[in-house]
Chain A
């Protein structure tokens, strides 16, 4: 499984970072950085929560 970021949609709320701090973070400019794109089973729940919490649906799992 992979996390995909649709960067033009991202508004930098950072709610995803709060849901999945081990998988992504906003950098000093407020731009989202995916620290890991390939997601194993152990991180699937966290990744799903990060996707769900985004109010502009800038993230998806594929």
Chain B
């Protein structure tokens, strides 16, 4: 028989940890709840960092979230350094050992780096965003390495700040994430706004006399006053060493209820959960929230809690365009236009062979439930 749940420790204070803590309370857990956050900041909205926060004036509030209501003991600015699954303890970097009956692993991921050079900027946390804003105020020339959504959002923000910006991308920007049609729409908008795009097979960073520069595969060097990389993320799971919870890729595999083992949930960017394409990490805002809700309910209610049913919701804002999409990405081929027309605000749909679909709204305000319905409708 399982032990009574008196103490739950949530390790991680991003949207996944925060939502898990909220949901535990909502599901009736009234015991001792502790949330550990390695940043000194209150939980914030990470998507805002590369969007509105780069464009904010002096207000700097785009990332702020409503204050938590879970009533947990919050230990902020403290890092978890170990998990003892036999004695059920979370070890912290200040020497504390926190006992738990149930634990939520929500330490997220960090930016993958191309070098150890201090001149390589990344944008992952709030401090990164403040540091980047400070540098952009001097209007340096910028090279962004990475043609995914984050790299493109950063490039857009830097351009809007008045910088000259070069984007270095493996192939056409966004094509791997969104597919050729949508990538084409964004690249056109980016070029019209003055972004220089360099396609390359690979890129590395090199420190030369304190200056960081980008070296492309054929040896071409791209120099700029500021180098920002956006080349993916790495799960923060080193602290789980010895537990067997993290795989070789660093991700924690969980079941459909977000549990890695009985009593141990893993949610958010570090968790690989079952999808139709096998276990996957889906490091997106709504993914973190849905995972956290599912897993927290499972910790309290066990098998009675419903498994995760989830269709990714993705959005990006860059170069004057706003895209909202539900369903599988990338998408091949040309869309059907449910509303609007090519070149303007539009609601588009791609049909997949299995009867499912992907719906995308471009510069078109639409409720998510409607977008979800559009993705499901036969095209």
Contact = CB atoms under 8 A, between A and B. Distances in A.
Contact of A13 (B19, B22, B364, B368): B368
B282 to A, nearest CB: 15
A13 B22 CA distance: 21
Nearest to A10: B365
Given A48-B26, A60-B66, A55 B368 contact: no
A51 B368 contact: no
Interface string A9-44: 101111101100100011001110000000000000
Nearest to B43: A52
Q: Which of B19, B22, B47, B368 has the most CB of A within 10 A?
A: B368
Q: Which of A18, A52, A53 has the most CB of B within 10 A?
A: A52
Q: Which of A12, A31, A45, A55 has the most CB of B within 10 A?
A: A55
Given A45-B26, A56-B48, A13 B66 contact: no
Contacts of B45: 55-57
State the main secondary structure of chain A at its contact with B: mixed
B189 to A, nearest CB: 18
B47 A17 contact: no
Nearest to A4: B66
Interface string B264-291: 0000000000000000000001100100
A27 B286 CA distance: 22
Interface in B340-379: 364-371
A18 B66 contact: no
A18 B371 CA distance: 11
B26 A14 contact: no
B366 A14 contact: yes
A5 interface: no
A26 to B, nearest CB: 4
B52 A14 contact: no
A18 B285 contact: no
Q: Which of B69, B286, B364, B365 has the most CB of A within 10 A?
A: B365
B64 interface: yes
Contact of B66 (A25, A26, A31, A52): A52
The 10 closest A-B pairs by CB, nearest first: A30-B365, A26-B367, A14-B367, A14-B368, A12-B365, A60-B66, A57-B65, A45-B26, A51-B66, A55-B47
Interface of A: 9, 11-15, 17-18, 21, 25-26, 29-31, 45, 48-49, 51-53, 55-57, 59-61
29 contacts: A11-B322, A12-B365, A12-B367, A14-B369, A14-B370, A15-B286, A17-B367, A17-B368, A17-B369, A18-B368, A26-B365, A29-B365, A30-B367, A31-B365, A45-B26, A48-B26, A49-B22, A52-B18, A52-B65, A52-B66, A52-B289, A55-B45, A55-B47, A55-B48, A55-B285, A56-B62, A57-B64, A57-B66, A59-B66
Given A30-B365, A56-B48, 9 more contacts: A9-B62, A14-B368, A15-B368, A21-B369, A48-B69, A52-B289, A56-B45, A57-B65, A61-B66
